[in-house]
């Protein structure tokens, strides 16, 4: 499979980090796919897992998965309102699909 290159946007990106506490049995890739497609308006162009944390503080059988999300459009700068709406949709999808909770 040959990877396809995307044109590089000349507009700035908005990056946010979100960590979710999920059941130990939840695969990170399943949660990542949910995050990629959760927002109807603005979708992240990158969703990258950067940390897996396990601790008794999270509860038995729980783990934290932290993702970096990058939002960017090829033809304009996104507004704070657009990014905030996408963030809310992504958190809601993680909660409803995977029973995730946002880690404070």
DSSP β-bridge partners for residue 64: 21, 53
Report the alpha-carbon distance of residue 97 to residue 7 in Å, rounded: 32
CA distance 42 to 51: 24
For 22-36, write each residue's pLDDT tens digit. 999 999 999 999 999
Q: 2, 1, 12, 4: which is closest to 76 by C-alpha?
A: 12
Measure the CA–CA gap between 91 and 79, rounded to whole angstroms: 19
Predicted structure pTM score = 0.90
Per-residue pLDDT of 32-83, as tens digits, reads 999 999 988 899 999 999 999 999 999 999 999 999 999 999 999 999 999 9
């Amino acid at each position: 499979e040959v990877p396809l290159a995307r044109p590089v946007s000349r507009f700035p990106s908005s990056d946010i980090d979100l960590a979710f506490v999920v059941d130990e049995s939840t695969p990170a890739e399943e949660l990542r796919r949910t995050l990629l497609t959760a927002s109807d308006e603005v979708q992240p162009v990158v969703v990258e897992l950067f940390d897996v944390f396990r601790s008794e503080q999270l509860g038995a059988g729980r783990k934290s998965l932290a993702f970096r999300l990058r939002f960017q459009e090829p033809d304009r700068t996104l507004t704070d309102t657009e990014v905030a709406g996408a963030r809310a949709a992504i958190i809601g999808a993680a909660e409803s699909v995977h029973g995730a909770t946002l880690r404070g």
